[in-house]
Amino acid sequence: MRRFFDPRQLAHAPVRELHNGDWVPYAETPARAEQIVAALGGGEPARDFGLAPIAAVHDSAYLDFLKGAWAEWHAAGRSGDAIGYTFPVVRRRPLDCSRIDAKLGAYSMDAATPIAEGTWDAAYWAAQTALTGLDAVASGDRHAFALCRPPGHHAGRDYMGGYCYLNNAAIAAQRAAALGLGPVAVLDVDYHHGNGTQDIYYEHGDIFFASIHADPRTDYPFYWGHADETGEGEGAGSTLNLPLPRGTDWPAYRAALDSALAAITGWGAKLLVLSFGADTFVGDPISSFALQTGDFTAMGRAIAGAGLPVLVVMEGGYAVGDLGGNVAALVEGF
Ligand code: OKP
Ligand code: ZN
């Protein structure tokens, strides 16, 4: 299958993140993408579809904030990466706050998502990479792989979080639906629940969201991804969460994957966007599942076996030395 990667995504390089009470080196590094592109033997660059398909998913005030946040932070006399410290968990509403710290808190769900100098450009080209991959599928390719970075599945309509700024998978899914390629399903197999994608489509009956992830009672993002979240309003029944315990290995994972694929085909999907994270790998430094490299080939084969056109969008995976091999194994399965 064709692979897409745009080197402008490498411009995003935050220095550190808050992890269990300490500042540690940022885990979502440019080296991740470099390892994957090396293992895949290159990638075609993104085409530019402009802001419209991004604005079809994200709030315009949020996009303005993202574009300008790093410059505002520096204009306020700060150095390094921009990061918030006060979060409006109670009665969040649009307020016209001018101070950069207020905006950083209002538009983020955690303190794990700093804005660096190159963040906007990289996130923009990650979204364009997903759209370019979708264009290949729309033009008749059965499967396409979009090497997106920074990842996207924790980002909602108007917030960033979990190393994510623009929701690449949601942007591609929205575009696919607009092109009449639906009904569209998003299947999220990253170790972490894709709360942003779920939130964006929670009340939409036309896009199905299924996620297999670590039980949020023990793992980030904690507050979403529980099995009783199934959608609301017109989206009632179009969200499926399959949380699994820490230590899950391939046989147990495979059973959940089969149920998710059966739900997706049973719902009538005609196109699948796969949010793929390789952080289910046994050696991942921030995750606790037990998949082996060869299991990703079985995963790719099982997903291809559902018989739908598939756009694969890269999400997480932090065992950098094994990451290229794990992604290549998935691609091999397709
Ligand atoms: C992004 B993706 C502790 C801080 C919170 C955020 C994890 C984001 C995962 N290091 N960690 O789903 O792979
Ligand atoms: Zn993850």
- Read off the CATH number of the domain in which 306 is found: 3.40.800.20
Supply the pLDDT for residue 94.
86
Q: Is residue 98 part of a domain?
A: no
Least confident of 17-21, 103-107, 123-127, 285-289: 17-21
pTM of this structure: 0.98
Reported as a pLDDT band with limits 50, 70 and 90, residue 225 is very high
Supply the pLDDT for residue 59.
98
Looking at the predicted structure, is the pLDDT value of residue 40 above 90? Answer: yes
Range of the domain at 43: 2-12+22-58+117-333
Residue having the nearest C-alpha atom to atom 3 of ligand 1: 19
Q: Is residue 283 part of a domain?
A: yes
How confident is the model over 190-209, as pLDDT tens digits?
999 999 999 999 999 999 99
Q: Is residue 89 part of a domain?
A: no
Q: Is residue 257 part of a domain?
A: yes
Residue 151 Cα: closest atom of ligand 1:
2
Supply the pLDDT for residue 86.
95
In this prediction, residues 14-43 reach a mean pLDDT of: 96
Q: Is residue 78 part of a domain?
A: no
Determine what percent of the chain is predicted with pLDDT higher than 90: 97
Q: Is residue 101 part of a domain?
A: no
Average pLDDT over all residues of the chain: 97
Looking at the predicted structure, is the pLDDT value of residue 112 above 90? Answer: no
Q: Is residue 295 part of a domain?
A: yes
Do 186 and 170 meet the contact criterion of CB atoms below 8 Å apart?
A: yes
Measuring from each residue's beta carbon to the nearest atom of ligand 1, which residues come in under 6 Å? 17, 19, 112, 151, 154, 162-163, 190, 192, 220, 277, 279, 286, 315-316
213 Cα–ligand 2 center, Å: 9
Mutation pick for ligand 1 pocket among 212, 213, 220, 320 (CB with most ligand atoms within 8 Å): 220
186 Cα–ligand 1 center, Å: 20
The answer, yes or no, to whether ipTM is higher than 0.95 is: yes
Q: Is residue 8 part of a domain?
A: yes
For the chain, the domain total comes to 1
How confident is the model over 264-280, as pLDDT tens digits?
999 999 999 999 999 99
